[in-house]
A and B are shown apart, each in its own frame.
Chain A
Amino acid sequence: MEKPLLSVRNLTIDIPVGGGTLHAVRGIDFDLNRGETLCIVGESGSGKSLTSLAVMGLLSKTIRRTADRMDFDGTDLTRATPRTMRALRGARMAMIFQEPMTSLNPAYTIGDQLTEALLLHKPVGREAARARAIELLEKVGITAAESRLSQYPHQLSGGLRQRVMIAMALMCEPELIIADEPTTALDVTIQAQILRLLYDLGREMNMAMILITHDLGVVARVADKVAVMYAGELVETGPAAEVFNMPSHPYTRGLLRCIPLPGKTERGSKLGTIPGIVPSLVGDVQGCAFRTRCSYAEAACHGDIPRQGSGGHAFRCIHEDGNRHFEEAIA
């Protein structure tokens, strides 16, 4: 069997806060193969961004990260020096942020920013780097690419800046791309174009991608594998088709009922809801974190929650099928 490009076991992220420790990410596992797209989906605050920053080695110093394993193609990321991480980030893994201005420097031209990493990490000359920048800007659908190289970030619209950032992430042909809500702030039209682009380029370059989003439509359309995150845990993971066709964790099923499905949900009918709010993760957290909002919760949900499922499709719940049979019976 192919060895995964990225393998993460028991990743835990603790943040010291006023009243104690915030257990923001609580022991998550996932694997990612070359050329594969993993979507992490969950509500705001569930720990998606922290997870991606942890893999990239970009967490701030006050945040504590531990893991039994975090392996990137043979490199142990838990022990990697800042220098090793910098080299990896420039050349082999790249990140796309939701807000393009977090990674674009307003004081430098688009051209300088695009070529910088390539010149630093790969044995190429200025001319070759420039040519590659133009090629990628064209690939991400930017017209008059050559003239953009001398422009500054503020001279571009939000949609264009997002594309520039994608081009920048692709400059060194990374093996892994982590995109944190790359299209959330964009129009549906541009969102579709950018996702399509990432998807096509991913195939073309055999790139692995972690795409973080709270949009289930995006997940369904681009994911090979899905990980549903709730309160710092992956409550359900599996191949996209299985998770969407046989959602097993009560939270996953609840989420899918909240969105109107064109052509399926009756117009104007009442949508499903998940009552209640996400629990605080400060201090001791025990049992299933979803139990305050779950209609199947019982005493056992306060204790250890077993992992259910078979093959690649797994979820955490005391019920063997997450009580899916129950809903199917009343549907």
Chain B
Amino acid sequence: MTGHPPKKPPILELRNVGKTYQVKQGLFGKARPLTAVNDVSLSLSRGEVLGLVGESGCGKSTLAKILLGLEAPTTGQVLVDGQEIGDQDRLSLARRIQPIFQDPYSSLNPRKSIFDIVSLPLRVHGIGDRTQWEKQVREILDIVGLPARVMNTYPSQMSGGQRQRVAIARALIMKPEIVICDEPTSALDVSVQSQILNLLGELRREFGLTYLFISHDLAVVEHLASRVAVMYLGRIVEEADVAGLFDHARHPYTQALLQSVLTPEPGLGVPDTQLGMAYPNPIDPPSGCRFHPRCPLATDHCKSHAPRPIRTEQGLVECHLYDPESQMYKNEAA
């Protein structure tokens, strides 16, 4: 699908959000700033799935924590339905936005029964009584494909896929509008991963949920997302609808990421992405365009000048090659 869906008002919006940590290097080192998220503006419309991709350490989880209200941004604003989340209390925010994290092993308390785990949000919010909790837990377990009898078992007695279903049940019992999925299937075997992906797809259609879907598996993001944002060293360097991004990637980093995807096609060999050097240290980000040390198209100009975000109908891209005012601009039509 290309073209432009009618503009819906964003249910969730980030405006120039930044997060800087002070990190100490070594025991007696002086604290230095690490900018994990750098001036990010993003919006999610109701019912869409925004995929967020990028290398380890680029700031995906930090962004997720800011959206969940678990971390306060250093700069900028987060708005839910046009209202700043600083103004909403934690509990009412939690009712609307729920997380599903990567590791189904450590995100569930091993000493609590499945009933306790799944019903916790209801109890925290003081909704209903024991009989109602049981009824609701039974319902939600059924929705995520778990038999009611697991209520009295413990996480250690379940497989990875079952635990991830429990985590999804816990996230959905409050009937949230937005679900932040941070690598929800990376710890799972492929046969289990596909079940969870199908489930997330069904739940979205059935309940009109909005997802932020973080993953480093680009094939999975392509399958599930309606729009994709690519992050590099704390910045969104490209954003487009799923077809635009996967069929006509523009940013050199996005192109390299896509090249690295190893599809199960024998005979194609392993591509040479020409990315050369490894991911830079976020405490010492490169000058100019932060991608320039690894970019096969970088020029001297890129070393000293940071590109600005260019927004067009195709989406957003942050690279001199697409900035009409830049000396490096190349006319795409040509």
Contacts and interface: CB of A to CB of B under 8 A. Distances in A.
Q: How large is the interface on B (under 10, 10 to 19, 20 to 34, 35 or more residues)?
A: 35 or more
A160 B263 contact: no
> Top 9 nearest A-B pairs by Cβ distance?
A217-B262, A260-B223, A258-B194, A271-B194, A274-B191, A192-B260, A220-B264, A196-B270, A43-B189
A275 B198 CA distance: 13
A260 B160 CA distance: 20
* Most central of B194, B246, B261, B272 by chain A CB within 10 Å: B194
Contact of A219 (B161, B224, B264, B275): B264
Given A187-B55, A188-B216, A159 B194 contact: no
A259 interface: yes
Nearest to A265: B223
A87 to B, nearest CB: 33
Nearest to B205: A268
B223 A187 contact: no
Given A157-B278, A190-B55, 12 more contacts: A143-B277, A157-B279, A188-B262, A189-B273, A199-B270, A214-B189, A217-B261, A220-B266, A255-B190, A258-B191, A262-B246, A268-B201
Given A188-B216, A273-B198, A214 B190 contact: yes
A218 B106 CA distance: 27
A145 interface: no
Interface stretch (A25-33, A66-74, A239-247): A239-247
A5 interface: no
A209 to B, nearest CB: 13
A277 B222 contact: no
B199 to A, nearest CB: 10
A199 B269 CA distance: 9
A59 interface: no
Interface in A265-287: 265, 267-268, 270-275, 277
Interface in A198-227: 199, 214-223
A309 interface: no
A160 B278 contact: yes
A84 interface: no
Nearest to A189: B260
A262 B264 contact: no
A44 to B, nearest CB: 6
B270 A195 contact: yes
A256 interface: yes
Given A193-B275, A259-B264, A261-B263, A267 B223 contact: yes
B120 interface: no
Nearest to B56: A187
A254 interface: yes
Interface in B172-230: 189-191, 193-195, 197-198, 201, 216-220, 222-224
A308 interface: no
A187 B279 contact: yes
A191 interface: yes
A267 B262 contact: no
B260 A191 contact: yes
A275 B199 CA distance: 13
7 contacts: A43-B189, A220-B265, A241-B267, A257-B194, A265-B223, A271-B197, A273-B195
A32 B278 CA distance: 33
Nearest to A260: B223
A222 B260 contact: no
A254 B190 CA distance: 10
Nearest to B217: A188
B242 interface: yes
A268 B260 contact: no
Contacts of A143: 277
A271 B223 contact: yes
B159 interface: yes
B219 A187 contact: no
B72 interface: no
Contacts of A215: 262
A118 B266 CA distance: 36
